[in-house]
Amino acid sequence: MFKLISVESLSKTYVSKKEKIIAVDNISFTVDQGEIFGFLGPSGAGKTTTQRILTTLLPFSSGTVYIAGYNVLTEAKKVRANIGYVSQLGGADPNATVRENLELSGKLYGLSNDVTVQRIEQLSKLLDFHELLPRFVRTLSGGQKRRVEIAQGILHEPKVLFLDEPTTGLDPQNRANLWQHIKKLRDNGMTIFLTTHYLEEADALCDRLIIIDHGNIIAEGTPTELKKKISSEVVSMEMKHLQDSEKMKLFFKQLELDKATEANMKFSIYTDIGEELITDIINFTKEHQIELANLSLSMPSLNDVFLTLTGKELRDGGKEEEQ
């Protein structure tokens, strides 16, 4: 299968008089034609830097990057002609109509009037906003506006669409609706490079994904593959009293559970013997008069994968990348 994105030994280093910051550290990955590829990581992990490099907005220190067969450094103009980019801030003019916004995008892409009209018809039907064409963008809901902005990003029929946090600020219903439209684009042959803070979104949408932390790729695979790597089950528990957390830590240490995380009196234990472990926990808490606020058994989620690999929630800590 043709690799729409090919990244080999990519590094980006920022050097100042005071310090040297390695934002991206020798990463390599590929994205297949016609897949939704997720790029996940906590704040400051290198996501924004990498995305700027891939979209020709930022030079890099070493490595090679090809988009749609074109070298990002030496063939930047051809790369730009083959990509679309929709930022989380959007780009639609609120004081213009939907049609006027799309017509302006067509002019910026250098499309003829006839082609622009044809593409507006196609995309407004594909993304279900045909009846919104005469309306001012400021009157649209968040979900409607995002669909229009995605149409702006693919009006010129790019081979790769970069979506940066596409559902930020949307309510659950609008998010789920937009997911279906993103899948529809994939089913129509579009290759999508997705960054998101919502792990359930990555789980629902991505064919493959990578997790990056401190500029390094720490995991890569399908959502199912990554979840299987940590365990087949997750035991989750929450303590009522802080002092009891220390007792549970010692208990889990005695059981030699190396896949256990704890934060704010909440434990997550990744195991293949969930029911047996729950029985042991119940017996131990009864014996030591420990009160639990919650105890449950479930299948692992991408959030569990992320927490296990990085030691933090996706939205935890760290400065947003400014470079």
pLDDT-derived band of residue 322, with 50, 70 and 90 as boundaries? Answer: very low
Domain 5-222 has CATH 3.30.470.20: no
Q: Is 126 left (phi over 0), alpha (psi -120 to 50) or beta?
A: alpha
> Do 126 and 184 contact (CB within 8 A), yes or no?
yes
Question: Could you give the angle at the alpha carbon of 274 between the alpha carbons of 273 and 279, nearest 5°?
Answer: 105
Q: Which of 244, 222, 187 is nearest to 302 (CA)?
A: 222
pLDDT at 318: 41
* Sheet of 266-271, strand order: 260-263, 266-271, 233-239, 292-298
pLDDT in tens, 190-249: 999 999 888 899 999 999 999 999 999 999 999 999 988 887 889 999 999 998 998 998
Looking at domain 232-299, its CATH architecture is 2-Layer Sandwich (3.30)
pLDDT-derived band of residue 253, with 50, 70 and 90 as boundaries? Answer: confident
pLDDT at 317: 42
pLDDT-derived band of residue 314, with 50, 70 and 90 as boundaries? Answer: low
Break the chain into its structural domains and give their ranges. 5-222, 232-299
